[in-house]
Amino acid sequence: MDLLRFSTAGSVDDGKSTLIGRLLYDTKTIFEDQLDHVEQTSRRRGDAETNLALLTDGLRAEREQGITIDVAYRYFATPRRKFIIADTPGHVQYTRNMVTGASTANLALVLVDARKGLLEQSRRHAFIASLLRIPHVVVCVNKMDLVDWSEQRYEEIVADFKAFATKLEIPDISFIPVSALRGDNVVDKSTNMSWYGGTPLLYHLEHVHIASDRNLVDVRFPVQWVIRPHSSEHHDYRGYAGQVAGGTFHPGDEVVVLPSGMTTTIRGIDTYDGPVDEAFPPMSVTLLLDDDLDISRGDMICRVNNHATASQELEALVCWMIDKPLAPRSMYAIKHTTRSARAMVTDLRYQIDINSLHRDESATSLGLNDIGRVSLKTTQPLLHDAYSRNRMTGSFILIDEATNNTVGAGMLLGDRT
């Protein structure tokens, strides 16, 4: 069954957690004891109705403040598709959490309060969705019940968002008027907005086409592990395990192993369930090769005439995730696909104001939740593609070697050119 990962985005109190709670409730994917607990908590808090946002806001501080702080992941399925939801925070100080939750998403739900219209935080999160190359965005104009189901108000917000989206790189944008609290246009079509001719949110999520979003042209297989059982049953078995990051693999394909440049042919493809005739993203497989080559973790298997770029000098956009600022000449550990190295920040090109999209070239550091363009030099070449071409081979994290904390998430822009 197909899997869709999607994240929520938008301003504080736009109703992200309530919308997710409504989806879970109306699709009957929550247990009775969960619902009983939410109902009891709602009564104890004095809420007029069952607060479905409590299904995702699990931290005590979140419930007390009525905001989302941490990323909450929820899972549900319909007969057509499986879903993983990342409910991300709306506050500006939790931008890093939003980046984390949206980094693997196929689709972003941007919620806009129909009363308030498009706010700075809605624009900020739409920009981050564009920055993270999320291919599908659904703008849910929420709380339509509080504007008397006004078609005019809905069209005003749609026009505002479309005007802002001309500055972004989002290939697919859809708009749906909803009331998360009452369930209008969430799972079932609303009877209060007969003027809306589109589909409810769940129908859209079930049918949005995501198969072509993955890069099936550039063959990329970062080697994660060399499998040598050393058993009588598998006497001479040598396989190279990992997750397909791009393209398709078949037995008989000629491939090249980077960085050595040695060529060979795929003899077979194994999975947990047995051999297969084809491997594609995001399958986890073991490749069997015709030749015994010197291959180790961090190497990459590609097509002979379609290589990943190998470079030690890189340009990237980085979202900074800790209080201690990023500054030029700083050293960090870098983790890219299955390869680890050390990296120096050689230059901070500019900081991006994620409200106005202005580039501040006078910036000398990046603080918590800031996003900026940096130049990096690594201790060994990274086998990469631009993030715009391949989100798996174009992303990395920076790690503080003293604390082992992840301090930055990066998106590669390509070589220094």
Backbone angles phi, psi at 415, to 5 degrees: -70, 170
CA dihedral over 37, 38, 39, 45, signed as positive or negative = positive
Among 276, 292, 178, 171, smallest CA distance to 226 is for 292
118, 164 contact by CB (below 8 A): yes
Q: Is the predicted pLDDT of residue 320 greater than 60, yes or no?
A: yes
**Per-residue pLDDT, 10:** 73
3-state secondary structure of 34: helix
**Per-residue pLDDT, 64:** 43
Per-residue tokens: 333: 């550990």
Backbone angles phi, psi at 303, to 5 degrees: -75, 155
**Per-residue pLDDT, 416:** 45
Label residue 262 exposed, middle or buried (CB < 10 Å: 0-12, 13-18, 19+): middle
CA dihedral over 184, 209, 154, 13, signed as positive or negative = positive
29, 38, 87, 88 from 34: Cα distances, Å: 10, 6, 18, 21
Q: Is the predicted pLDDT of residue 76 greater than 90, yes or no?
A: no
Q: What is the mean pLDDT of residues 300-325?
A: 93
**Per-residue pLDDT, 53:** 55
Q: Is the predicted pLDDT of residue 406 greater than 80, yes or no?
A: yes
% of the chain surpassing 70 pLDDT = 85
DSSP letter at 396 equals: E
What is the Cα–Cα distance from 415 to 417, expressed in whole angstroms? 6
3-state secondary structure of 220: strand
Q: Do domains 3-213 and 220-303 have the same CATH topology?
A: no
DSSP letter at 344 equals: E
Q: Where are the domains of the chain?
A: 3-213, 220-303, 309-415
Is the domain spanning 309-415 CATH 3.40.640.10? The answer is: no
- 43 versus 326: the higher-pLDDT residue is 326
Q: Which of 12-21, 219-228, 272-281, 348-357 has the lowest mean pLDDT?
A: 12-21
Q: Which of 31-35, 118-122, 189-193, 261-265 has the lowest mean pLDDT?
A: 31-35
Q: Enter the CATH code of domain 220-303.
A: 2.40.30.10
Among 138, 126, 182, smallest CA distance to 10 is for 126
**Per-residue pLDDT, 22:** 79
Q: What is the mean pLDDT of residues 256-281?
A: 95
**Per-residue pLDDT, 283:** 93
**DSSP string computed for 271-306:** ETTEEES-B-TT-EEEEEESS-----TT-EEEETTB
- 243 versus 27: the higher-pLDDT residue is 243
**Per-residue pLDDT, 417:** 40
Per-residue tokens: 80: 């057509």
Q: Which of 83-92, 105-114, 118-127, 266-275 has the lowest mean pLDDT?
A: 83-92
9, 98 contact by CB (below 8 A): yes
**Per-residue pLDDT, 68:** 39
CATH architecture, domain 3-213: 3-Layer(aba) Sandwich (3.40)
CA dihedral over 176, 181, 187, 188, signed as positive or negative = negative
316, 410 contact by CB (below 8 A): yes
Other C-beta atoms lying within 10 Å of the C-beta of residue 164: 15
Q: What is the pLDDT of residues 56-74, one digit of tens each?
A: 544 334 334 444 345 677 8
29, 149, 204, 325 from 189: Cα distances, Å: 19, 13, 12, 48
Q: What is the mean pLDDT of residues 367-376?
A: 91
Q: What is the pLDDT of residues 216-267, one digit of tens each?
A: 899 999 999 999 887 667 777 899 999 999 999 999 999 999 999 999 999 9
Question: Taking all residues of the chain, what is their mean pLDDT, rounded to a whole number?
Answer: 85
What is the Cα–Cα distance from 340 to 358, expressed in whole angstroms? 33
3-state secondary structure of 126: helix
Q: What is the mean pLDDT of residues 167-187?
A: 90
